[in-house]
Amino acid sequence: MSDKHLSSQFDADLNLVSSKVLEMGGLVESQIVNAMIALNNFDLDVAEQVIAAEDRLNQMEVEIDEECSNIIARRQPAARDLRLLIAISKTITNLERAGDEAEKIAKRTKRLMEDGASRSINIAEIKLSGEMAVSILRRALDAFARLDTVAAAQI
């Protein structure tokens, strides 16, 4: 095998794992949006969808983490590539945690509906917090996709 082949395969590995991170980020974003929709509309079906999708997020975290470990073991990256893989590992952990929070919102929404307390809750501040979280997540994912360190630092 030539060095070029190894390098292009390494680039393909990095691109694949980066794409999976963006896919996971998109799922987390939809989880947060749907959790907020469930809370805003007290929609049990949407809350159930959020709760059900949490398993997929957990699975994605494990898969991406394993892929990062495999790349490190097989390719022995240095400098920029190693930093990228470490950043990805930390990113997926935080994305999974954000998904956990969306699941908590959905579960709390279900409890509020079951307890009949949904009518007495003012969710304006919660809704604003959710919108802010989604905006920050979108900007962070965009910065990651472009590997824009300046935008990341601003976030």
Q: Report yes or no on 45 lying in a domain.
A: yes
Q: Report yes or no on 49 lying in a domain.
A: yes
Q: Report yes or no on 24 lying in a domain.
A: yes
* Tally of residues, the chain: 155
Report the candidate in 21, 23, 28 with the shortest Cα–Cα distance to residue 137.
Answer: 28
Find where tokens 């900007």 sit.
Answer: 139
Instruction: Name the CA dihedral angle for 129, 47, 50, 39, rounded to a multiple of 10 degrees.
Output: -10
Check if the beta carbon of residue 99 is closer than 8 Å to that of residue 57: yes
Domain range for 75 is: 7-154
Spatial distance between the Cα atoms of 151 and 149, rounded to a whole number of angstroms = 5
Reading the chain (155 residues) residue by residue, the pLDDT tens digits are 333 435 788 889 999 999 999 999 999 999 999 999 999 999 999 999 999 999 999 999 999 999 999 999 998 998 899 999 999 999 999 999 999 999 999 999 999 888 877 667 778 888 899 999 999 999 999 999 999 999 999 99
Instruction: Name the CA dihedral angle for 91, 92, 95, 99, rounded to a multiple of 10 degrees.
Output: -170
Structural domains counted in the chain: 1
Q: Report yes or no on 54 lying in a domain.
A: yes
Q: Report yes or no on 1 lying in a domain.
A: no
Check if the beta carbon of residue 56 is closer than 8 Å to that of residue 123: no
- Taking CA atoms, 9 is separated from 50, 74, 140, in Å, by 36, 11, 27
User: Whole-prediction pTM value?
Assistant: 0.89
Q: Report yes or no on 2 lying in a domain.
A: no
Q: Report yes or no on 73 lying in a domain.
A: yes
Spatial distance between the Cα atoms of 14 and 28, rounded to a whole number of angstroms = 21
Spatial distance between the Cα atoms of 43 and 6, rounded to a whole number of angstroms = 51
Q: Report yes or no on 55 lying in a domain.
A: yes
What tokens appear for 17 in the block?
Answer: 């794992």
| CATH number of the domain enclosing 104 | 1.20.58.220
